[in-house]
Copies of this chain bind each other. A is one copy, B any other.
Amino acid sequence: MRRAIQLALLAEGRTSPNPLVGAVVLDSSGSLVGEGFHTGAGNPHAEIEALAKAGEKSVNGTIVVTLEPCCHEGLTPPCTEALIKAGLKRVVVGMVDPDPRVSGNGISRLKDSGLEVIEGVLQQECESINREFSFRVRHGRPWGILKWAMSLDGRIGLPNGCSKWISNSFSRDSVHKIRSKCDAVIVGGGTVRLDNPLLTSRGKANSEPLRVVFSRTLDLPESSKLWDTKIAKTLIAYGPDGNESFFSDLPDGPEKLRLNSDDPSELLSSLSKKGCNKILWECGPLLATSAIEANCVQELVVFVAPKLLGGETAMCPLNSFGFESIDSTYKLQHSFLERKGEDLSWSLLF
């Protein structure tokens, strides 16, 4: 199973909306005769890849697979039938597939066909590599990461709006890496107006994440790096108050998405349907605050630079939640902490 997990991780960041899956086939004497992993939606599943390598040697053998084999017709035929047809004797499964179309039905189908099924092997490890996929399947919206870079005194910009650069190049490189593991990066209109960001992984991703501008009013600049969709796709999502006349001057390229509300969770449901397992919020205080309040943030990455910016009216990472006592504030769980040159990077879970 450890080898199957290794195989699964080879496709990290490329399989959405599908999960990461790895599989290993052993022959009747226990020798490894086939390996495979899922490389992306529409491509063969891990089991099919591994069985293809094993060929005739899978008869009376064992397949070890990180995720329960599917039993439904998707973009590819059900894996359960391929396993049965291959003459396997035993199936070792890491975790049950949370997808309601599978969710134990794959295992039942195999058992009903006389195969021995061993479940829950390295279950925690198998679940952890598909945390975002499982979250999306269970909640109908992608796993949300919120990131900001601030000074020691908790400022994300000077009173005049200047924020280039609070964090150092190691931290910014690390943001590019986070983007490369996400399916979409979301900013609000304020960030487009103030920072004119590019929002790419700077080539770290095989395919750049979708860049999403979430604007209530569509009060957006005519010219922006995000309107050029040659390097990466852009989606402009807007609520009922969006002034669509903005689109008349917009160059071709960005996709438009009209939503029924300004609720961040409606946006995330739409992104989930577009196949996003994991998204990154790179927005200002207003949108960040409402994303947290709408449970659209599961993970926080804070970069702290050893600088003091000051500023009475200046820019803090979040707006008011209306808390009246410290007991009622959000409490996060430490995940990991790293030095990035002189900066700190602290990741936490909600």
Contact = CB atoms under 8 A, between A and B. Distances in A.
Interface of A: 150-155, 158-160, 162-166, 289, 292, 300, 302, 304, 306-314, 316-326, 329-334, 337, 339, 342, 344, 346, 348
A315 B246 CA distance: 38
Contacts of A165: 326
Nearest to A309: B329
Nearest to A146: B308
Contacts of A309: 318, 321, 323, 326, 329
8 contacts: A153-B316, A155-B316, A162-B324, A162-B326, A292-B308, A307-B332, A309-B321, A333-B342
A307 B331 contact: yes
B152 A316 contact: no
A288 to B, nearest CB: 9
A332 B344 CA distance: 13
A301 to B, nearest CB: 10
Contacts of A152: 300, 302, 317, 332, 346, 348
Nearest to A350: B308
B334 A307 contact: no
Nearest to A333: B306
Q: Which of A165, A318, A332 has the most C-beta atoms of chain B within 10 angstroms of its own C-beta?
A: A318
A317 B153 CA distance: 6
Closest 6 CB pairs of A and B: A154-B154, A310-B321, A308-B330, A306-B332, A153-B318, A153-B317
A314 B320 CA distance: 8
Contact of A325 (B158, B302, B314, B348): B158
Contact of A323 (B310, B319, B326, B331): B310
A328 to B, nearest CB: 9
Copies of this chain in its oligomeric complex? 2
Given A154-B316, A306-B348, A311-B318, 15 more contacts: A151-B154, A152-B348, A153-B154, A153-B316, A153-B317, A158-B326, A158-B329, A159-B320, A166-B326, A306-B332, A307-B331, A310-B329, A311-B319, A312-B320, A314-B320
Q: Looking at A150, A154, A166, A304, which has the most chain B CB atoms within 10 Å of its CB?
A: A154
B307 A329 contact: yes
Contact of A329 (B151, B289, B319): B151
A139 B123 CA distance: 62
A152 B331 CA distance: 10
Contacts of A163: 326
Contact of A164 (B155, B311, B326): B326
Contacts of A310: 289, 318-323, 329
Which of A152, A306, A317, A324 lies at the interface centre, i.e. has the most chain B CB atoms within 10 A of its CB?
Answer: A152
**Highest count of chain B CB atoms <10 Å: which of A151, A322, A326:** A326
Most chain B CB neighbours (cut-off 10 Å) among A153, A311, A317: A153
Contacts of A323: 158, 309-311
A317 to B, nearest CB: 4
